[in-house]
Structure 1
């Protein structure tokens, strides 16, 4: 066998080029992009008093509460999700396949240990309760190196309207580097809302009471949540808009005094719409209420009444139930 020492220099150079050994090695591949060189980043977001700078889009997000999960799915971000938790009702058919590709961590909120087991780099909560548990608070998550975001409806700086929904979607689009998708979604939502506005223009507003739940008192929609704006856009008047929060308790006597013409039932959880109607119809405090006498009810899934992508379709559905003559 010929020793390498006895081969001509030219042949050794050729062998070196072919094997990557020797002095004529090809240039090394450039190192992968560092977080600071990701296009469009860093992105700094101040959310509910917490300022976060993202050097790159999150890769292992966990969503807690259905409406924020659906925002992620509507933006095509299921591959950036390491887990999800807490459904109130069914996922819409158009998002079902994407949702089924994401691991469900818990039926309600996961424990801190279960949350950590998903190795998240970002936790997105829809309600303040998502961050209530000790160890799962935003400060604790930050100490663990996990970024977090809370739906703007939980800490509004002003009225909660569809403008705030647009801000929410655009911000999530920036955080995940998909601003183009966010703008497309905003345009689609505006088109639906403009169509509803055209149909209910000039209609006599319907006096509405929202029934979420409760037997001793009524848990209803106040003036500080997106539900109030939805009722207005659908051609209604929220009789408890003076309640200075998104949701709150009122007495059934107060409901009777304000004489709603229609009752909007939020559909979710173990108590069915039929059971809620039966309870309201049999409540002696409500027997003289116009909505009860006429059995005039409208129904919306809870996930369509909080700051999520179902709001425009929720407005359209509610408008059709309050003003059926405008949608025939």
Structure 2
């Protein structure tokens, strides 16, 4: 039976979808129907948006967009915009199966961040990013430089707090919510004149999230989210997207006092925290030691410190892709995997 806490969380999510819209799955390309030229839902240009401390004006729907992150790319593909995506970069995981066909002809500019020259070689008229480090000095390109060359840019609201990019050097002052992700979807849909598709995608994510959390309550069991690196592990702080997965399902993040989204910590502090459950990132890339799930599990079992953890001895592991722990449409996939694990293990917790 669901506890009061789990019923409240599920009800909160359910209210968000009470608008009665039904869309396709977050991992499916939204059908390309468009409203009539004079009908409701068409974008009126020029469109001006406030985007993480910058005013962005779009004169017409972009025709050639480069997405600098997997999260942004999968939103664009889910909105049925693959014919306009002329480049993508910075991937932690394979594309969602149901977006694979849409992604087939999208050029991969780089597995990580591309150079400015490679970006320009794709001849974009618009650039999107999930993480503001790409727009920093020393990153791919500063937004001001793009503007000077007539190229528009957009940064995900999930990486923004008080007009500053979190990943670009700012500090998160309040917990991330799904509202920021839904804002990103709606704004990108408006920019590309497919607002109806954005509405359907948001509605479906809300519906799936409500279903995935219905009755799920870990009743305060402690958890650590380990993204990458065996030397000084990057773990989830208390205000970012991974910690949102914890609070939504009734878990307590042992590093909730950390303000950074992914602070690097020492293994001594992990052992001292002694989490009940370990959420392990299964990253399909080769950037840090222990990106892969199997490498993480092997390290935990063999290291003289981590092997003493009860969660390691009992193998209380939940495996999530990196994109499912980042602020993306895959947060729902993460919730569904957590629900599956909880259903199979709740009696032993």
Whole-angstrom CA distance in 2 between matches of 1:152 and 1:246: 14
Partners of 1:57 and 1:177 within 8 A in 2: yes
Tell me by how many angstroms 1:170 deviates.
Answer: 1.0
- From 106, 109, 113, give the equivalent of 1:105: 109
* Deviation, structure 1 residue 326: 6.7
The equivalent of 1:55 in structure 2 is 59
The CA distance in 2 between the partners of 1:41 and 1:282, in whole Å, is 59
State the 1:272 CA deviation.
2.1
Corresponding residue SS for 1:287: helix
Number of residues of Structure 1 aligned to a counterpart in Structure 2: 290
TM-score of the pair, normalised by structure 2: 0.78
Q: CA deviation at 1:205?
A: 3.2
> What SS does structure 2 have at the residue aligned with 1:196?
helix
Match in the other structure for 2:143: 138
Which blocks of at least 5 consecutive residues in structure 2 are unaligned? 1-36, 163-173
* Structure 1 partner of 2:230: 215
In structure 1, C-alpha distance between the alignment counterparts of 2:325 and 2:231, rounded to whole Å: 23
Distance 1:256 1:107 in 2: 33
Greater RCO (CA < 8 Å, at least 6 residues apart): 2
The 8 Å contact of residues 165 and 308 in structure 1, kept in 2 or not, is answered as yes
**CA separation in 2, counterparts of 1:235 and 1:162?**
16
Contact kept? 1:170, 1:182, Cα under 8 Å: yes
Provide the rounded CA distance (Å) in 1 between the counterparts of 2:104 and 2:142: 27
Question: CA contact under 8 A between 2:113 and 2:140: conserved in structure 1?
Answer: no
Aligned ranges 1:32-71 → 2 under 5 Å: 39-71=43-75
| Counterpart position of 1:164 | 180
Distance in 1 of aligned mates of 2:151 and 2:338: 39
- Please report how far the alpha carbon of residue 47 of structure 1 lies from its aligned counterpart in structure 2 after TM superposition: 1.2
SS at match of 1:205: coil
Paired residue for 1:204? 219
1:152 paired residue number: 157
- Alpha-carbon offset, residue 115 of structure 1: 0.9
Asked whether 1:307 is paired with 2:322, we answer: no
Larger Rg: 1
Q: 1:14 maps to which residue?
A: none
The verdict on how the C-alpha distance between 1:326 and 1:284 changes in structure 2, with shifts beyond 3 A counting, is: closer
* C-alpha displacement of 1:197: 2.4
Relative to structure 1, is the Cα distance of residues 85 and 134 closer, same or farther in structure 2, using a 3 angstrom cutoff?
A: closer
1:191 aligned residue: 207
1:62-112: CA deviation from partner (whole Å, max 9, x where unpaired): 001111100110111112212112221110111111111212222322211
Spell out, residue by residue over 1:168-205, the C-alpha distance to the aligned partner (whole angstroms, 9 max, x if none): 1111111111111111011101111111221215x423
- TM-aligned CA deviation for residue 206 of structure 1: 2.5
1:219-234 maps to which residues of 2 (within 5 A)? 219-234=234-249
2:130–2:155 Cα contact (<8 Å) kept: yes
Distance in 1 of aligned mates of 2:323 and 2:139: 26
**Contact 2:223/2:252, CA 8 A, preserved across alignment:** yes
Partner SS state of residue 148, structure 1 = strand
Q: Which runs of 4+ in 1 moved over 3 A?
A: 132-135
> TM-score scaled to structure 1, two decimals?
0.83
Mean Cα displacement is larger for which, 285-294 or 116-125?
Answer: 285-294
- The RMSD of aligned alpha carbons is 2.0
Secondary structure of the corresponding residue to residue 200 of structure 1: coil
Distance in 2 between residues matched to 1:181 and 1:248, nearest whole Å: 36
Q: State the 1:40 CA deviation.
A: 2.1
How many Å separate the matches in 2 of 1:318 and 1:272?
A: 19
- Helix, strand or coil: the match of 1:212? strand
Give the one of 91, 100, 103 matched to 1:96.
100
Other structure's SS at 2:308 match: coil
The unaligned stretches of length 5 or more in structure 1 are: 1-32
